[in-house]
Amino acid sequence: MKKNNYVYLLDGKIYINLTNLCTNDCVFCIRDIKDDVVGANLFLDSEKTDVEEVKKQLDEIKPEKYSEIVFCGYGEPILKLEELKIVAEYIKKKYPHLKTRINTNGQGNLIYKRNIVPELKGLIDSVSISFNGENKKVYDELSRPKLENAYESMKDFIKECVKEGIETTATIVTGYKNYKVDLDSCKKQIEEMGAKFRERPWLDNGY
Ligand code: SF4
């Protein structure tokens, strides 16, 4: 049986891949371009996340040698909130030197219909949130969200993370095909919310 790759390495960091599901369908989603990142096939056999297997793969990668771990993968990690919290707690107990981050579309509160950010406090040190566009029109065009009010909810999520003292970065993918994003407006809005702005230039095989 094929092994599910829950844990992989990229740019000297450990990444955790909990799901292939997402509430967005971004035009530039890397899942639509290739099925592997640095040789690790990230398509999972099942959406029934095996938390014990995640921990096992994590131990095998020897986390002592790394400084940061990122919940990311081919999907929206917060869709697996309970599993994510169990794994993050395991990391904080067993490998307290590791900084923890989630790369998210920022729709967690919309998905669960409650403010989940306080649940991340103490487990997650930083979040990187896909801001994607200066207004709902641009955001919807690029992110193709499946849930209503995704743009507003994502912005509220940024504010909640900042409020909880989680290091918060909001990102924009630039240079993808002919899509145009007003970077100045995005930067201004992001910084006004107290988050850091980061541009992620599109590369031919991802970003
Ligand atoms: S939020 Fe990420 S995983 Fe989801 S569709 Fe967009 S790029 Fe893909």
Q: Which atom of ligand 1 is nearest to the CA of 130?
A: 1
Out of 28-37, 92-101, 116-125, 171-180, least confident range = 28-37
Confidence (pLDDT) at 170: 98
What does the mean pLDDT of the chain come to? 93
Alpha helices, DSSP H, located in the chain: 51-60, 81-94, 108-112, 117-120, 136-143, 150-163, 183-192
What percentage of residues in the chain have a pLDDT greater than 70?
A: 95
- CATH number of 7-201, picked from 3.10.129.10, 3.30.470.20, 3.20.20.70, 3.20.20.80: 3.20.20.70
Kindly give, in sequence order, each residue whose CB lies less than 8 Å from that of residue 108, ignoring residues fewer than 6 positions away. Answer: 78, 81, 116, 117, 157
40 alpha carbon – ligand 1 mean position (Å):
18
- Take residue 64 and report the two structure tokens written for it: 């002592």
Averaged pLDDT, 3-7: 90
Averaged pLDDT, 147-159: 98
Confidence (pLDDT) at 206: 56
Q: Which atom of ligand 1 is nearest to the CA of 103?
A: 2
Residue with CA at minimum distance from ligand 1 atom 7: 29
- Provide the residue ranges of all domains of the chain, joining segments of one domain with +: 7-201
Out of 30-39, 72-81, 116-125, least confident range = 30-39
